[in-house]
Amino acid sequence: MKPVSSAVLSLLAVILCIGGSLLSQSQAAETQSVILNFEGIVGDQPFSCTESYRLGTAETRAMPTDFRLYVSDVALIDAEGNAVPLTLEQDGKWQYDTIALLDFEDRTGTCANGTPETRTQVVGTISAGDYQGVQFTVGVPFDLNHDDATLAPSPLNLTSLWWNWRGGYKFLRVDLQTHTMNAELPIQPKGEGHSGPGSGPGSPTHTGDPGHGVGVTGFAIHLGSTGCQVEGDNLQPTRCLNPNRADIVLSEIDPAVDTIAVDLAALVQSNDLSTNMPNTPPGCMSAPEDGDCMGIMHNLGLAFDGEPSSGQTVFRVD
């Protein structure tokens, strides 16, 4: 067998290099980057921690102290109506697995216990195509919802967005101070949460509520799973009677141009924020026996107390 000349070897190396480059370009052309922009709003006004708003059926003057939510299982909808999953960028901070944290508070004004950093985007890649809609879930998937927040990767390490082992995470947290309900209300804890320090975007010292609604002032909305059942000595539940994950579908959206508005005013439009159902935590802690949750759940597109929702009104395309 004759030895291969160096010239031939050099030529083969060049061919392999070109082939690899073309393959990489081809693979890149098969996917496209996507940035979904979100915006916290209050009716027709931008959300701000330094403003107060007239909210609810009684137009109660309210000042926000928190506005954050988890979204998961994000997908774009093509012209044929197929939902194509978005592969989220794993940035080690705002996004993990199929979950992304949206944070509209900025630690100014009445949001003094929040974080200075905000997050209003979901970033990922998807198969190249023409997409005309978007869908996502407000919530954390069951298989991650009942992990220990103090050991979880960011953004699931925010114990201020975690109830306890059984309840799991607060999928949506909106806290409001009102003139009529601005003092801490004496309530009985519904569970033992974790009060240890956690770390997360912009702050290493988040702390959690000791239970569903404990320590809450004014009118609070903490959306999460309830009726979660455990077997034997297990800390993690095997199922939850009320998952309370809201599936959102928005059509006629151009992800490159449009913004998804999250409307706090629409969330509480059916509630009188100046009153609270007796013997329940202030606001809505997702408990099925809490009548203050009826309108909120329906506005998120969730059934409540056996009554279906006519459709969500909180999310829209702007």
**pLDDT, tens digit (0-9, with 9 covering 90-100), for 136-146:** 999 999 999 99
Quick check: is 7 in a domain? no
Quick check: is 14 in a domain? no
At 125, the pLDDT band (50, 70, 90 cuts) reads very high
Residues 6+ apart with CB under 8 A from 147: 156, 236
At 5, the pLDDT band (50, 70, 90 cuts) reads low
Asked if the model's pLDDT at residue 106 lies above 70, the reply is yes
Q: In the prediction, which pLDDT does 231 show? A: 84
Q: In the prediction, which pLDDT does 274 show? A: 93
| Mean pLDDT (whole number) for 173-184 | 76
Cα distances from 67 to residues 22, 119, 147, 304, in angstroms, run 46, 11, 23, 22
Residue in this structure with the two tokens 């151009």, named with its chain if needed: 254
HSE, side-chain direction, 13 A CA sphere, residue 126: 22
SS3 75: strand
Asked if the model's pLDDT at residue 188 lies above 50, the reply is no
Quick check: is 19 in a domain? no
Residue in this structure with the two tokens 């950093």, named with its chain if needed: 117
Residue in this structure with the two tokens 């697995």, named with its chain if needed: 97
Quick check: is 61 in a domain? yes
Closest C-alpha to 139, from 240, 252, 289, 265 = 240
Residues 6+ apart with CB under 8 A from 208: 149, 159, 160, 161, 162, 163, 193, 194, 195, 196, 198
Quick check: is 150 in a domain? yes
Which ranges of 93-239 would DSSP assign to H, the alpha helix? 142-145
Pairing of strands 259-263, 31-42: parallel
Q: Give the structural domain span for 174.
A: 38-317
Tell me if 267 sits within 8 A of 296, measured CB to CB: yes
Overall domain count for the chain = 1
Average pLDDT, the chain: 85
Tell me if 174 sits within 8 A of 165, measured CB to CB: no
Q: Could you tell me how many helices (H) and strands (E) the chain has, helices first?
A: 4, 22
At 255, the pLDDT band (50, 70, 90 cuts) reads confident
Q: What percent of the chain has pLDDT over 70?
A: 79
Asked if the model's pLDDT at residue 190 lies above 50, the reply is no
Cα distances from 303 to residues 13, 45, 151, 243, 270, in angstroms, run 63, 28, 33, 11, 15
Q: In the prediction, which pLDDT does 235 show? A: 73
| Mean pLDDT (whole number) for 291-314 | 97
Cα distances from 22 to residues 80, 127, 238, in angstroms, run 30, 18, 48
Quick check: is 169 in a domain? yes
Q: In the prediction, which pLDDT does 250 show? A: 98
The pair of structure tokens assigned to 279 is 């013997």
Asked if the model's pLDDT at residue 267 lies above 80, the reply is yes
SS3 160: helix
| Mean pLDDT (whole number) for 214-224 | 79
At 192, the pLDDT band (50, 70, 90 cuts) reads very low
Quick check: is 299 in a domain? yes
Condensed to tens digits (0 to 9), the pLDDT of residues 39-94 reads 999 999 999 999 999 999 999 999 999 999 999 999 999 999 999 999 999 999 99
Condensed to tens digits (0 to 9), the pLDDT of residues 148-178 reads 999 999 999 999 999 988 899 999 999 999 9
Asked if the model's pLDDT at residue 236 lies above 80, the reply is yes
Instruction: Give the chain's radius of gyration (CA, Å).
Output: 23
Q: In the prediction, which pLDDT does 124 show? A: 99
d(CA 24, CA 21): 5
Q: In the prediction, which pLDDT does 13 show? A: 58
